[in-house]
Amino acid sequence: MNKKITLFNTYIHTSAFKNVKSVLDSGFLSEGKLVKEFEKELSEKLGLTNPVAVNSGTSALHLALVLAGVGPGDEVILPSQTFIATGLAVLYVGAKPVFADIEYDTGNIDPKDIKRKITKKTKAIIPVHWNGYPCDLDEINKIAKGHKLIVIEDAARALGATYKGKPIGSLSHFTCFSFQAIKHLTTGDGGAICSKNLLDAKKSKTLRWFGINREKAKPSLLGERIFNISEIGYKYHLNDYAAAFGSANLENFKKRIAKRQRFAAMYKKALGKIPGIQLFKEDNYCKSAYFLFGLHVERRNNFIRALKDKGIPTTIDTFGLNHHKVFSKYKTNLPVNKKFNETQINLPVHDGLTEKKIKYIIDIIKKGW
């Protein structure tokens, strides 16, 4: 192995260098026409619905909750098995996070437990596509409709995934993406909020920039914008140099996702029958974007050590939000999540790897642990 195997990669397309340089040369760095272009490409190339670019996935989640009208006294149902940002966004709006259990064989929120956790105070559900594998969105949206709840997908790890042939980012009321450095598509840092409702998309554009409506606030004779904001806005917009970077990385995005899917298929084929390993379940109508390749393994510490000795990084990634002090006051009863976290482990599957390296990882695992 010539190059080290890493858990993640930060992909920078060769054309990003000239794209970003021309933005720097122009001297216009803030949000402008390149952000608009990037948004247009996200919808045309990836089928996202009304994407509005922001400066992070966390900002996208926060905006979605604001737009959903979630506030103090409200409850939001989400899995504990996620990155802290999902839960923090709920705290930003002063609502109460209610953790639902997950499915043992996907790591995704269990719709049956969502139903059990709904109360009169519930306002929204945040399904998280754990490691890029789509949640049961038909079922979750059906539950939401029946109880008049808003679905906000945390798709930070699922850009490029599909559910029943449709892209994630086109299915629920809101979908939030992250373009952070190690996510599938990076802009350095960035994100997007997709809204089924065009009015919400328009509001996102206003709220991402202090609550100023740029379309309406035309510059005066002196070139200053005249505005009078009517609600609390945020400083969440994306910059043009980040958008230029994102557009460059979109050029071969689908190819790179296909590469991850090929690597995952290699893992599935080779590891499925090894004693001590249980692969996650994948329905044929869900296509994962594979942020990582998750599986269950017996004698996990031995497994981690055996791979580490051969230069292969693995990660447990998270034990869940309820393990963090800030969330500890929210009582949880998550038996499946607890069991999930006793054996789950993740292998690298990013497109910076090669078939040769995946074969090497498989061979090492086959040797035992």
Ligand X SMILES: *Cc1c(COP(=O)(O)O)cnc(C)c1O
Applying CB under 6 A, which residues contact ligand X?
Answer: 56-58, 82-83, 85-86, 128, 154, 156-157, 178, 180, 191
Measured from the CB atom, the residue of 59 and 261 that comes closer to ligand X is: 59
Rounded to whole angstroms, how far apart are CA atoms 38 and 53?
Answer: 8
Cβ-in-10-Å burial (0-12, 13-18, 19+) of 341 comes to: buried
- Give the Cα separation of 68 and 124 in Å (integer): 8
Nearer to ligand X, 188 or 357 (CB): 188
Query: Mind telling me the catalytic residues?
Result: 183
Q: Which residue is nearest to ligand X (CB)?
A: 57
Give the CA distances from residue 237 to residues 21, 29, 92, 210, 218, in Å, rounded to whole numbers and listed in that order. Answer: 20, 12, 18, 9, 18
The minimum distance between CB 253 and ligand X, in angstroms, equals 17
Q: Which is nearer to ligand X, 178 or 288 (CB)?
A: 178
- E strand or H helix at 293: strand 293-297
| Residue 363 structure tokens | 């061979």
C-beta closer to ligand X: residue 58 or 239: 58
For the bound state, the minimum distance from the C-beta of residue 58 to ligand X, rounded and expressed in Å, comes to 3
Residues 6+ apart with CB under 8 A from 353: 5, 9, 263
Q: Is the dihedral of CA 220, 222, 223, 226 positive or negative?
A: negative
Closest separation in Å from C-beta 182 to ligand X: 8
CB of 292 to ligand X, least distance (A): 10
Task: Provide the 3-class DSSP secondary structure of residue 205.
Answer: helix
